[in-house]
Protein backbone atom coordinates (compact mmCIF):
# COMPACT_ATOMS: atom_id res chain seq x y z
CA UNK A 1 0.00 0.00 0.00
CA UNK A 2 1.18 3.51 -0.61
CA UNK A 3 2.98 5.14 2.28
CA UNK A 4 1.01 7.09 4.89
CA UNK A 5 -0.34 10.53 4.19
CA UNK A 6 -1.11 11.97 7.58
CA UNK A 7 -0.02 11.88 11.19
CA UNK A 8 -1.30 14.50 13.64
CA UNK A 9 1.12 17.28 14.47
CA UNK A 10 3.38 16.80 17.46
CA UNK A 11 1.66 18.28 20.49
CA UNK A 12 -1.88 18.05 19.13
CA UNK A 13 -2.29 14.67 20.76
CA UNK A 14 -0.39 13.66 23.85
CA UNK A 15 0.70 10.07 23.44
CA UNK A 16 1.25 7.80 26.39
CA UNK A 17 3.89 5.37 25.14
CA UNK A 18 2.98 2.62 27.58
CA UNK A 19 -0.69 2.90 26.64
CA UNK A 20 0.17 2.87 22.94
CA UNK A 21 2.29 -0.22 23.39
CA UNK A 22 -0.53 -1.92 25.25
CA UNK A 23 -3.40 -0.93 22.95
CA UNK A 24 -2.00 -0.10 19.51
CA UNK A 25 0.32 -2.99 18.77
CA UNK A 26 -2.15 -5.45 17.29
CA UNK A 27 -1.52 -8.48 15.11
CA UNK A 28 -3.27 -8.71 11.76
CA UNK A 29 -6.24 -11.11 11.70
CA UNK A 30 -5.96 -14.00 9.28
CA UNK A 31 -9.53 -13.52 8.08
CA UNK A 32 -11.94 -10.60 7.81
CA UNK A 33 -15.70 -10.80 8.27
CA UNK A 34 -17.92 -10.66 5.20
CA UNK A 35 -21.07 -8.50 5.13
CA UNK A 36 -24.36 -10.23 5.81
CA UNK A 37 -25.55 -9.71 2.24
CA UNK A 38 -22.38 -11.21 0.72
CA UNK A 39 -21.31 -14.29 2.67
CA UNK A 40 -18.10 -16.00 1.58
CA UNK A 41 -18.47 -19.24 -0.41
CA UNK A 42 -15.84 -21.22 -2.27
CA UNK A 43 -17.58 -20.90 -5.64
CA UNK A 44 -18.08 -17.15 -5.18
CA UNK A 45 -14.39 -16.65 -4.42
CA UNK A 46 -13.47 -18.77 -7.46
CA UNK A 47 -15.74 -16.67 -9.67
CA UNK A 48 -14.39 -13.43 -8.21
CA UNK A 49 -10.82 -14.50 -8.86
CA UNK A 50 -11.60 -15.23 -12.51
CA UNK A 51 -13.26 -11.84 -12.93
CA UNK A 52 -10.35 -10.12 -11.18
CA UNK A 53 -7.88 -11.53 -13.71
CA UNK A 54 -10.06 -11.30 -16.82
CA UNK A 55 -9.07 -8.46 -19.22
CA UNK A 56 -12.34 -8.91 -21.08
CA UNK A 57 -13.91 -6.74 -18.38
CA UNK A 58 -12.21 -3.84 -20.17
CA UNK A 59 -13.41 -2.28 -23.42
CA UNK A 60 -10.43 -3.40 -25.51
CA UNK A 61 -9.73 -6.63 -23.65
CA UNK A 62 -6.39 -5.25 -22.47
CA UNK A 63 -6.82 -4.46 -18.76
CA UNK A 64 -7.92 -6.49 -15.76
CA UNK A 65 -8.20 -5.57 -12.09
CA UNK A 66 -4.82 -7.25 -11.69
CA UNK A 67 -3.26 -4.88 -14.23
CA UNK A 68 -3.21 -2.09 -11.66
CA UNK A 69 -3.41 -4.21 -8.49
CA UNK A 70 -0.98 -7.04 -9.12
CA UNK A 71 -1.46 -9.78 -6.53
CA UNK A 72 1.63 -11.56 -7.85
CA UNK A 73 3.62 -8.79 -6.14
CA UNK A 74 2.79 -5.85 -3.86
CA UNK A 75 -0.84 -5.47 -4.90
CA UNK A 76 -0.21 -2.30 -6.90
CA UNK A 77 1.51 -1.67 -10.25
CA UNK A 78 4.82 -0.08 -9.11
CA UNK A 79 4.03 3.03 -11.16
CA UNK A 80 3.53 6.67 -10.18
CA UNK A 81 0.24 6.63 -12.09
CA UNK A 82 -1.67 3.73 -13.53
CA UNK A 83 -2.19 3.29 -17.27
CA UNK A 84 -5.79 3.09 -18.39
CA UNK A 85 -7.53 2.51 -21.68
CA UNK A 86 -5.78 3.93 -24.76
CA UNK A 87 -2.70 4.66 -22.64
CA UNK A 88 -4.55 7.18 -20.43
CA UNK A 89 -2.48 8.33 -17.45
CA UNK A 90 -4.04 9.42 -14.20
CA UNK A 91 -3.12 11.68 -11.33
CA UNK A 92 -3.09 9.06 -8.58
CA UNK A 93 -1.10 5.97 -7.79
CA UNK A 94 -2.87 2.63 -7.46
CA UNK A 95 -3.24 1.60 -3.80
CA UNK A 96 -2.46 -1.99 -2.89
CA UNK A 97 -5.30 -4.50 -2.81
CA UNK A 98 -3.54 -6.53 -0.09
CA UNK A 99 -5.43 -6.06 3.21
CA UNK A 100 -7.82 -3.57 1.56
CA UNK A 101 -10.63 -5.61 3.09
CA UNK A 102 -9.61 -4.16 6.46
CA UNK A 103 -10.23 -0.57 5.32
CA UNK A 104 -13.61 0.96 6.10
CA UNK A 105 -13.68 2.95 2.84
CA UNK A 106 -11.95 2.47 -0.50
CA UNK A 107 -9.94 4.70 -2.88
CA UNK A 108 -7.59 7.44 -1.71
CA UNK A 109 -10.50 9.86 -1.33
CA UNK A 110 -12.84 7.33 0.28
CA UNK A 111 -15.51 7.65 -2.39
CA UNK A 112 -16.44 3.95 -2.23
CA UNK A 113 -17.95 2.69 1.01
CA UNK A 114 -17.05 -0.97 0.52
CA UNK A 115 -15.13 -3.46 -1.59
CA UNK A 116 -18.37 -4.15 -3.43
CA UNK A 117 -18.82 -0.46 -4.26
CA UNK A 118 -15.19 -0.18 -5.35
CA UNK A 119 -15.24 -3.20 -7.66
CA UNK A 120 -17.69 -1.74 -10.18
CA UNK A 121 -16.10 1.71 -10.51
CA UNK A 122 -12.96 0.94 -12.57
CA UNK A 123 -14.85 -1.37 -14.95
CA UNK A 124 -17.19 1.44 -16.02
CA UNK A 125 -14.78 4.37 -15.69
CA UNK A 126 -14.21 5.69 -19.24
CA UNK A 127 -10.51 6.24 -18.60
CA UNK A 128 -9.81 3.05 -16.68
CA UNK A 129 -11.34 -0.18 -18.06
CA UNK A 130 -13.89 1.85 -20.04
CA UNK A 131 -16.76 -0.57 -20.51
CA UNK A 132 -19.52 1.62 -21.95
CA UNK A 133 -22.36 0.39 -19.73
CA UNK A 134 -23.46 -2.24 -17.24
CA UNK A 135 -25.57 -3.78 -19.98
CA UNK A 136 -22.50 -4.25 -22.18
CA UNK A 137 -20.60 -5.90 -19.32
CA UNK A 138 -23.43 -8.37 -18.72
CA UNK A 139 -23.84 -9.01 -22.45
CA UNK A 140 -20.15 -9.83 -22.83
CA UNK A 141 -20.09 -12.16 -19.81
CA UNK A 142 -23.36 -13.75 -20.95
CA UNK A 143 -21.65 -14.87 -24.16
CA UNK A 144 -19.25 -17.01 -22.10
CA UNK A 145 -21.22 -20.09 -20.97
CA UNK A 146 -18.88 -20.97 -18.11
CA UNK A 147 -19.45 -17.57 -16.53
CA UNK A 148 -23.21 -17.99 -16.83
CA UNK A 149 -22.92 -21.32 -15.03
CA UNK A 150 -20.61 -19.99 -12.32
CA UNK A 151 -22.88 -17.03 -11.56
CA UNK A 152 -25.78 -19.45 -11.21
CA UNK A 153 -23.77 -21.60 -8.78
CA UNK A 154 -22.49 -18.62 -6.79
CA UNK A 155 -25.91 -16.97 -6.49
CA UNK A 156 -28.38 -19.87 -6.67
CA UNK A 157 -31.26 -18.07 -4.95
CA UNK A 158 -31.48 -15.25 -7.48
CA UNK A 159 -33.71 -15.11 -10.52
CA UNK A 160 -31.04 -13.27 -12.55
CA UNK A 161 -27.70 -14.25 -11.03
CA UNK A 162 -25.61 -12.66 -13.81
CA UNK A 163 -25.66 -9.00 -12.76
CA UNK A 164 -23.30 -6.13 -11.98
CA UNK A 165 -24.23 -6.34 -8.33
CA UNK A 166 -23.18 -9.98 -8.20
CA UNK A 167 -20.05 -9.29 -10.23
CA UNK A 168 -19.06 -6.79 -7.53
CA UNK A 169 -19.92 -9.24 -4.76
CA UNK A 170 -17.81 -11.98 -6.33
CA UNK A 171 -14.76 -9.76 -6.82
CA UNK A 172 -15.12 -8.45 -3.27
CA UNK A 173 -15.33 -12.02 -1.95
CA UNK A 174 -12.03 -12.84 -3.64
CA UNK A 175 -10.43 -9.65 -2.34
CA UNK A 176 -11.39 -10.59 1.22
CA UNK A 177 -9.00 -13.53 0.91
CA UNK A 178 -6.07 -11.17 0.21
CA UNK A 179 -4.78 -10.85 3.78
CA UNK A 180 -1.08 -10.98 4.71
CA UNK A 181 -0.70 -12.05 8.36
CA UNK A 182 2.27 -13.32 10.34
CA UNK A 183 4.79 -10.60 9.56
CA UNK A 184 7.84 -10.30 11.78
CA UNK A 185 5.96 -7.52 13.59
CA UNK A 186 2.94 -9.80 14.13
CA UNK A 187 5.14 -12.52 15.54
CA UNK A 188 6.76 -9.99 17.89
CA UNK A 189 3.50 -8.64 19.32
CA UNK A 190 2.30 -12.22 19.81
CA UNK A 191 5.27 -12.80 22.11
CA UNK A 192 8.24 -13.82 19.98
CA UNK A 193 10.83 -11.32 21.22
CA UNK A 194 13.37 -12.53 18.65
CA UNK A 195 11.11 -11.81 15.67
CA UNK A 196 12.36 -8.22 15.36
CA UNK A 197 15.94 -7.00 15.21
CA UNK A 198 17.23 -4.44 17.70
CA UNK A 199 17.02 -1.81 14.98
CA UNK A 200 13.40 -2.70 14.21
CA UNK A 201 12.50 -2.46 17.89
CA UNK A 202 14.11 0.98 18.03
CA UNK A 203 12.10 1.95 14.97
CA UNK A 204 8.92 0.66 16.57
CA UNK A 205 9.57 2.78 19.66
CA UNK A 206 10.32 5.84 17.51
CA UNK A 207 7.14 5.22 15.54
CA UNK A 208 5.13 5.56 18.76
CA UNK A 209 7.17 8.30 20.40
CA UNK A 210 7.18 10.55 17.35
CA UNK A 211 3.39 10.37 17.09
CA UNK A 212 2.91 8.16 14.04
CA UNK A 213 0.37 6.02 15.89
CA UNK A 214 -1.99 8.99 16.15
CA UNK A 215 -3.07 8.10 12.62
CA UNK A 216 -1.48 4.76 11.80
CA UNK A 217 -2.94 2.68 14.60
CA UNK A 218 -4.72 -0.63 14.77
CA UNK A 219 -3.88 -3.99 13.28
CA UNK A 220 -3.82 -2.59 9.75
CA UNK A 221 -1.89 0.59 10.64
CA UNK A 222 -4.66 2.59 8.96
CA UNK A 223 -6.44 4.03 11.97
CA UNK A 224 -9.31 2.81 14.14
CA UNK A 225 -11.57 0.06 12.87
CA UNK A 226 -14.71 1.95 11.86
CA UNK A 227 -18.02 0.72 10.43
CA UNK A 228 -17.97 0.22 6.68
CA UNK A 229 -18.45 3.56 4.95
CA UNK A 230 -17.12 5.68 7.84
CA UNK A 231 -13.61 6.40 6.69
CA UNK A 232 -10.72 7.66 8.79
CA UNK A 233 -9.44 10.80 7.05
CA UNK A 234 -6.57 13.13 7.92
CA UNK A 235 -5.13 16.30 6.43
CA UNK A 236 -1.93 16.16 4.39
CA UNK A 237 0.20 18.20 4.72
CA UNK A 238 -0.57 19.19 8.30
CA UNK A 239 2.34 21.65 8.26
CA UNK A 240 2.22 23.37 4.84
CA UNK A 241 5.06 25.19 3.14
CA UNK A 242 7.91 22.70 3.38
CA UNK A 243 10.33 22.11 0.50
CA UNK A 244 8.75 18.70 -0.01
CA UNK A 245 5.38 20.25 -0.83
CA UNK A 246 6.80 21.82 -3.97
CA UNK A 247 9.34 19.13 -4.78
CA UNK A 248 6.73 16.37 -4.81
CA UNK A 249 3.66 18.42 -5.80
CA UNK A 250 1.75 17.36 -2.70
CA UNK A 251 -1.22 19.74 -2.64
CA UNK A 252 -2.34 20.04 -6.26
CA UNK A 253 -4.79 17.16 -5.78
CA UNK A 254 -7.41 18.24 -3.24
CA UNK A 255 -8.19 14.68 -2.12
CA UNK A 256 -11.50 14.18 -0.32
CA UNK A 257 -12.76 17.59 -1.50
CA UNK A 258 -12.78 16.30 -5.09
CA UNK A 259 -15.63 14.03 -3.97
CA UNK A 260 -17.55 16.17 -1.49
CA UNK A 261 -16.92 19.65 -2.91
CA UNK A 262 -16.41 20.93 0.64
CA UNK A 263 -13.60 23.37 1.45
CA UNK A 264 -13.09 21.63 4.78
CA UNK A 265 -12.19 18.43 2.93
CA UNK A 266 -9.36 19.96 0.91
CA UNK A 267 -6.23 17.82 1.12
CA UNK A 268 -7.98 15.33 3.38
CA UNK A 269 -7.13 11.70 2.63
CA UNK A 270 -8.13 8.28 3.82
CA UNK A 271 -5.29 7.08 6.04
CA UNK A 272 -3.68 4.22 4.12
CA UNK A 273 -2.38 1.00 5.60
CA UNK A 274 1.34 0.61 6.22
CA UNK A 275 1.16 -3.16 5.80
CA UNK A 276 3.64 -4.28 3.11
CA UNK A 277 4.59 -0.63 2.57
CA UNK A 278 8.16 -1.67 1.74
CA UNK A 279 6.82 -3.33 -1.44
CA UNK A 280 4.72 -0.50 -2.82
CA UNK A 281 7.09 2.24 -4.00
CA UNK A 282 6.70 4.87 -5.35
CA UNK A 283 4.84 6.53 -2.48
CA UNK A 284 1.96 8.89 -1.72
CA UNK A 285 -1.26 9.54 -3.60
CA UNK A 286 0.59 10.81 -6.67
CA UNK A 287 3.45 8.29 -6.57
CA UNK A 288 6.11 10.99 -6.66
CA UNK A 289 8.34 9.86 -3.79
CA UNK A 290 10.72 7.15 -5.03
CA UNK A 291 11.93 5.49 -1.82
CA UNK A 292 10.71 4.55 1.63
CA UNK A 293 13.47 6.43 3.46
CA UNK A 294 12.54 9.62 1.60
CA UNK A 295 8.85 9.02 2.38
CA UNK A 296 9.75 8.84 6.08
CA UNK A 297 11.53 12.20 5.87
CA UNK A 298 8.59 13.76 4.03
CA UNK A 299 6.10 12.54 6.62
CA UNK A 300 8.20 13.69 9.55
CA UNK A 301 8.44 17.21 8.13
CA UNK A 302 4.97 17.67 6.69
CA UNK A 303 3.01 15.96 9.45
CA UNK A 304 5.14 16.40 12.58
CA UNK A 305 7.29 19.39 11.64
CA UNK A 306 10.37 17.36 12.61
CA UNK A 307 13.74 16.83 11.01
CA UNK A 308 14.91 13.26 11.58
CA UNK A 309 18.47 12.06 11.91
CA UNK A 310 19.67 9.47 9.42
CA UNK A 311 19.71 6.93 12.25
CA UNK A 312 16.06 7.64 13.04
CA UNK A 313 15.14 7.29 9.37
CA UNK A 314 17.00 3.99 9.10
CA UNK A 315 15.33 2.66 12.27
CA UNK A 316 11.85 3.62 11.05
CA UNK A 317 12.46 2.05 7.63
CA UNK A 318 13.66 -1.13 9.33
CA UNK A 319 10.49 -1.23 11.42
CA UNK A 320 8.26 -0.62 8.41
CA UNK A 321 9.96 -3.54 6.64
CA UNK A 322 8.85 -5.74 9.54
CA UNK A 323 5.24 -5.12 8.44
CA UNK A 324 5.68 -7.23 5.29
CA UNK A 325 3.48 -10.27 5.86
CA UNK A 326 3.03 -13.74 4.46
CA UNK A 327 1.22 -13.70 1.12
CA UNK A 328 -1.31 -16.43 0.39
CA UNK A 329 -0.26 -18.35 -2.70
CA UNK A 330 -1.87 -17.04 -5.87
CA UNK A 331 -2.29 -19.16 -8.99
CA UNK A 332 -3.49 -17.81 -12.30
CA UNK A 333 -7.05 -18.99 -12.98
CA UNK A 334 -8.11 -20.67 -16.19
CA UNK A 335 -10.60 -18.19 -17.68
CA UNK A 336 -13.84 -19.10 -19.46
CA UNK A 337 -13.69 -19.32 -23.25
CA UNK A 338 -16.16 -18.99 -26.09
CA UNK A 339 -14.87 -21.39 -28.78
CA UNK A 340 -14.78 -20.31 -32.40
CA UNK A 341 -15.50 -16.62 -31.85
CA UNK A 342 -14.56 -13.60 -29.77
CA UNK A 343 -16.61 -11.49 -27.39
CA UNK A 344 -14.41 -8.43 -28.01
CA UNK A 345 -15.14 -5.59 -30.45
CA UNK A 346 -13.13 -5.57 -33.67
CA UNK A 347 -13.94 -2.37 -35.59
CA UNK A 348 -11.74 0.73 -35.37
CA UNK A 349 -14.71 2.76 -34.19
CA UNK A 350 -15.43 0.35 -31.35
CA UNK A 351 -11.79 0.23 -30.32
CA UNK A 352 -11.38 4.03 -30.25
CA UNK A 353 -10.70 5.28 -26.72
CA UNK A 354 -10.38 8.49 -24.79
CA UNK A 355 -7.19 9.66 -23.12
CA UNK A 356 -7.84 11.79 -20.09
CA UNK A 357 -7.27 11.37 -16.37
CA UNK A 358 -7.29 8.04 -14.59
CA UNK A 359 -8.00 8.17 -10.86
CA UNK A 360 -7.81 5.70 -8.01
Residues carrying an active site annotation:
128
| Residue 338 near residue 144 (C-beta atoms within 8 A) | yes
Which of 5, 2, 1, 79 is CA-nearest to residue 244?
5
- The Cα 151–Cα 77 span in angstroms is 29
Which of 284, 213, 273, 210 is CA-nearest to residue 244?
284
| Residue 220 near residue 28 (C-beta atoms within 8 A) | yes
3-state SS record for the chain: CCCCCCCCCECCECCCHHHHHHHCCCCCCCCCCCCCCCCCCHHHHHHHHHHHHCHHHCCCCCCCHHHHCCCCCCCCCCCCCCECHHHCECCCCCCCCCCHHHCCCECCCCCECCHHHHHHHHHHCCCCCCCCCHHHHHHHHHCCHHHHHHHHHHCCCCCCCCCHHHHHHHHHHHHCCCCCCCCHHHHHHCCCCCCCCHHHHHHHHHHHHHCHHHCCCCCCCCCCCCCCCCCCEEECCCCCCCHHHHHCCCCCCCECHHHHCCHHHCCEEECCCCCCHHHCCCECCCCCECCHHHHHHHHHHHHHCCCCCHHHHHHHHHHHHCCCCCCCCCCCCCCCCCCCCCCCCCCHHHHCCCCCCCCC
| Residue 237 near residue 250 (C-beta atoms within 8 A) | yes
Amino acid sequence: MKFWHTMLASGLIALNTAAVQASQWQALPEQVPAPADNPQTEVKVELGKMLYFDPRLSKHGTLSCNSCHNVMEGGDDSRPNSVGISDARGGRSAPSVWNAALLSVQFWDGRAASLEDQAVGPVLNPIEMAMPSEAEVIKRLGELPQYVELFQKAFPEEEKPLSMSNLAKAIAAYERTLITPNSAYDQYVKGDEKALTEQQVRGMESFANLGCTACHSGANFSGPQLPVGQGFFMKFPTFPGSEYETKYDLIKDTGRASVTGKDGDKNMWRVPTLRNVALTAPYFHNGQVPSLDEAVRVMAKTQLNKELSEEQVADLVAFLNSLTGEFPEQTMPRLPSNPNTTVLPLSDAELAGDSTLLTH
